[in-house]
Amino acid sequence: MDIKYFKLIKTIQEEGNLANSSDKLFLTQSALSHQLKELEERLGFKVFYRTRNKWTLTDEGVALYKLGNRILDTIEKGFQDIAQIQEGSKGNIKISTECYSFYQGLSGFIQKMKLLYPEITVDFDLEATHQPISKVVSREIDIAIVTAKPKDNSLVSTAFFEDEIFAVMHKENQFAELPYLEPDSFVEMHLIIHSYPLETVAVYEHFLKPRHVMPYKISAIPLTEVSLEMVAANMGVMCMPRWGANSFVLPDDLIFKKILKQGLKRKHYLVVRKEDRSKRYIQDFIANFKECFLR
């Protein structure tokens, strides 16, 4: 039974006649009369007794009126709940990441968030890149993207994907013929990184440092485009995941070289304060972020 019929019965009963109901439902008396006739023919019984000045419900009509009130009240409560949910999806989120590659891919995600959740604003904090976890704890940012789960009990970590770090080099580089790179390969290498400190460089923190290996030369170049040009000129090697290069046009002379036979893989985590994890707009951000970056 269509909701419009329950609204019709409710309005006629509470307004007392068809004329007053017409104004309430923004329909002509003729249209309402047609709807009521159609309903009664479908049901097979009268809903109202008609008199000139007063319409009263039949016994069946009373049952329909009570049923309709329960249904309409449930629908109204549902819309109120939805409104409260939407109200909870409002807030400002400051985010930072220890991996600069993410900044290249986040713009598309932020545009998507603006369309789906116009009441959620997202800002990047580039200055927090070198210490995102401490910035979350100190409330300077709300979400950190990191590659190691923090041990702080006041924080909650959500894994969202795993990637692999490769060494990007010129095809004529002295290491290009190797099937994969071992730690000793980096001892003779000019490594190009994005910035210091080295603890924020994935290949150093997850690969070189645990093995007590240091390249003979390290250059910090904050622009990925410039780093790739240096690699294309065979002036050094940079390390990054394949997806981090998706937004760049790579010369044919560049190759991605595997690090270790099994590959150098890392997990990524979204870290938030435990007290904020239940906030609706934080949940919406994390759910959409995981969907967007799941690989």
CA distances from 50 to 20, 31, 56, 147 (A): 14, 17, 7, 74
Q: For every one of its 295 residues, what pLDDT tens digit does the chain have, with 9 covering 90 and above?
A: 788 889 989 988 888 877 788 888 888 888 888 998 998 898 999 999 887 777 889 999 999 999 989 999 888 887 866 665 566 567 889 999 887 777 766 777 888 888 888 888 888 888 888 889 999 999 999 999 998 899 999 999 999 889 999 999 999 999 999 999 999 999 999 999 988 888 888 899 889 999 999 999 999 998 889 999 999 999 999 999 998 888 788 989 999 999 999 999 999 999 999 999 988 889 989 988 888 765 4
Map out the domains of the chain as residue ranges.
3-87, 91-161+266-293, 162-265
The CATH classification of domain 3-87, taken from the options 3.40.190.10, 3.40.50.300, 3.30.43.10, 1.10.10.10: 1.10.10.10
Backbone angles phi and psi of 176, in degrees to 5: -65, -30
Contacts of 234 (CB under 8 A, 6+ apart): 169, 170, 172, 173
3-87 with 162-265: one CATH topology?
Answer: no
Instruction: Retrieve residue 58's tokens.
Output: 């039949």
Q: Which CATH number is associated with domain 91-161+266-293?
A: 3.40.190.10
The CATH classification of domain 162-265, taken from the options 3.40.605.10, 2.60.40.1120, 3.30.1360.70, 3.40.190.10: 3.40.190.10
Nearest Cα neighbor of 255 from 199, 149, 181 is: 181
Instruction: Check if the beta carbon of residue 144 is closer than 8 Å to that of residue 95.
Output: yes
Strand partners, 258: 166
CA distances from 262 to 35, 212, 249 (A): 72, 19, 28
